[in-house]
Structure 1
Amino acid sequence: MKLVWSAETASKAFIDTVKTCKLSHESSVAELISAMAAGWNAKLIVETWSKGGMMQTSIGLAIASHYAGGKHVCIVPDEESKTEYVQAMEKAGKPVPEVKVGKPEELVGGIEGIDFMVVDSSRKDFANIFRVAKLGERGAVLICKNASSRAASDFGWRNVLDGKTRIVRHVFLPVGNGLDIVHVGATISGPKKGPSRWIKHVDRKTGEEIFIRT
C-alpha cells in the first residue's frame, strides 16, 4: 500500500480550516498543511509545538485528522506548554490530540508508523527529530516549517533520512516563513520486479542532490 491522494478530502479540510482560523489568503500555511494531511489520508499525524507557538497549524492538523480518520499526536517540551496548547485547542472548539511531554527527539523515536509530520525548523534539534522518526510502510510526508530562517545550512533530506528511504519528491514553498516538504515513498517488500534506474536531480535553491528511482 502507499499514500493515495484524495482531492475531495483535501478540499473539505481546507475549507474547514479557513472557517475555523478565519483565514482569507490562499497561501496560508495552516490551510495548505491541513489540505495536504487530509488529502494524503494521513493515519498518524505528528507535530512538535512549544509555548508561544502559533496554533493555526495545529488546528489545521486536527481538522485533517478528523477528515482522514487518523490519529493526531502533538509533542511539547514541558507541562507549561501542554497547558497552553490544550487550552488553545479547546478554545478553538477542536478535539485535543494526544499530547506527549518531553524531548521531541526522544519521544518521536517511540512512535511507530508516522505518515505525516510537521516540525518547526527554527529548533536547533529539528534534524534529529526527523532522523529518529519511524515512518509508515505507506510512505510519509515530512514538513519543515520556518525553513527560510533555518540556521542549519548543511541540512539536506538525504543527510537526515535513512539511505534506504526513497524520496519521491522534494519541494520548497515560499509560504509563510517557508515550507520545506519531502514525500517519502512506500516501503517495498519482496523481490524487485523488472529493472529500475536512478535519476539525479539538483535542487537549484539549496544545491542538494536528490536521487529518484523509477
Structure 2
Amino acid sequence: MKLVWSPETASRAFIDTIKSCHNFKEFGVAELLSAMAAGWNAKLIVHACSAAASSTVTTVGLAVAARHSGGRYVCAVADERSKSEYVKALQEAGVSPPTEIVVGEAETAMAAVVGVDFLVVDCKRRDFARVLRFAKVNDEGAILICKNTWSRSFEKLGYCGLLPKGTRVVRSVSLPVGQGLSIIHVGSSNGAGAISTSKPSRWMKHVDERSGEEHVYRKRI
C-alpha cells in the first residue's frame, strides 16, 4: 500500500485518542502516534512493545488509529511472561488487549507480520535493534517509530546501522516527546528516486541544531 497522507483522518484519530486517554496522566505520544498511523492510512500497524505499563497508552492510541484507517493492529511481545505482564497492565487500566498478540523474539515475531505500514518499537525492549532489522515492511514504503529513545542513547547508536541493508530512508526526525521519539520514513523498495550506486558513495547525516530535524543523504566519493 502506498502511503498517502490524510489530514482529516489524522485529526479525527487525534481527537478520539485524547478522549479515550482522558483517564491517563500521559499526554503527547499516544495522540501523535495515533494521528500519524491513521493519517497515513496504515493498513498494518505493529507495536513491538515492552512489558512496561507505559505501553498501555500507546496501545490505546494505535487501536484508535486502526479503527480510523480500517487496518489491522498487531502487538508483538518477546515471550509469554511479557505477554502476561502486558495484558495484566492493560486490564488494570481498563483497556481491552489487542485481538492479535504475536509472541516471540524479534526474528520470529517480525516474520509473522509481513507488509508493515506503521511500526512502533519501544526501545526499552532489549531486542529493539533486532526488531528493526527483521521488520518486514511494505514494499511501497513505511513509517518506523522508535519511542523511549533516550533510554538507549539512540542518537549515538545511529539508526542507519540498525536498519536492514539497502533500506532507503526518505526522511527522519527526532522529537523531544515523551522519553524521546525518532520517526523514520522508509521509501519504496523499487528504487524509485534512489541515487545511482555506479560510483562509490557513503551515507551522511546532518542534524538541524534549531529544529532537531535529522536529514540523511548519500554522498558520492
User: Normalising by structure 2, what TM-score?
Assistant: 0.80
For 2:120 and 2:218, locate their aligned partners in 1 and report how far apart those are by CA, in whole Å: 23
For 1:152 and 1:8, locate their aligned partners in 2 and report how far apart those are by CA, in whole Å: 32
Which residue of structure 2 aligns with residue 203 of structure 1? 207
Residues 30/153 of structure 1: CA separation in 2 closer, same or farther (3 Å cut): closer
Deviation at 1:123, TM superposition (A): 2.6
Matches within 5 A, 1:82-93: 82-86=83-87, 88=90, 92=94
Q: Percent of aligned positions with the same letter in both sequences? A: 48
For 1:146 and 1:155, locate their aligned partners in 2 and report how far apart those are by CA, in whole Å: 14
Which residue of structure 1 aligns with residue 44 of structure 2? 44
Q: Is the 8 A contact 2:87 2:97 kept in 1?
A: no
For 1:90 and 1:27, locate their aligned partners in 2 and report how far apart those are by CA, in whole Å: 19
Say whether 1:98 aligns with 2:104.
no
Residues 134/97 of structure 1: CA separation in 2 closer, same or farther (3 Å cut): same
Which stretch shifts more, 7-16 or 163-172? 163-172
Residues 23/156 of structure 1: CA separation in 2 closer, same or farther (3 Å cut): farther
Residues 143/23 of structure 1: CA separation in 2 closer, same or farther (3 Å cut): farther
Deviation at 1:12, TM superposition (A): 0.8
1:4 match: secondary structure = coil
CA deviation string 1:13-47 (max 9, x = no partner): 10110000117999610010010000011111111
Deviation at 1:149, TM superposition (A): 2.3
Q: Is the 8 A contact 1:59 1:89 kept in 2?
A: no
* Code of the aligned partner of 1:5: W
1:72 match: secondary structure = strand
Q: Is the 8 A contact 2:206 2:215 kept in 1?
A: yes
Which residue of structure 1 aligns with residue 178 of structure 2? 176
Deviation at 1:176, TM superposition (A): 0.7
Matches within 5 A, 1:31-180: 31-54=31-54, 55-86=56-87, 88=90, 92=94, 96-151=98-153, 154-180=156-182
Q: Is the 8 A contact 1:128 1:160 kept in 2?
A: yes
Q: Is the 8 A contact 1:90 1:96 kept in 2?
A: no
User: Structure 1: 5+ residue runs without aligned partners?
Assistant: none
* Code of the aligned partner of 1:33: L
Which residue of structure 1 aligns with residue 29 of structure 2? 29
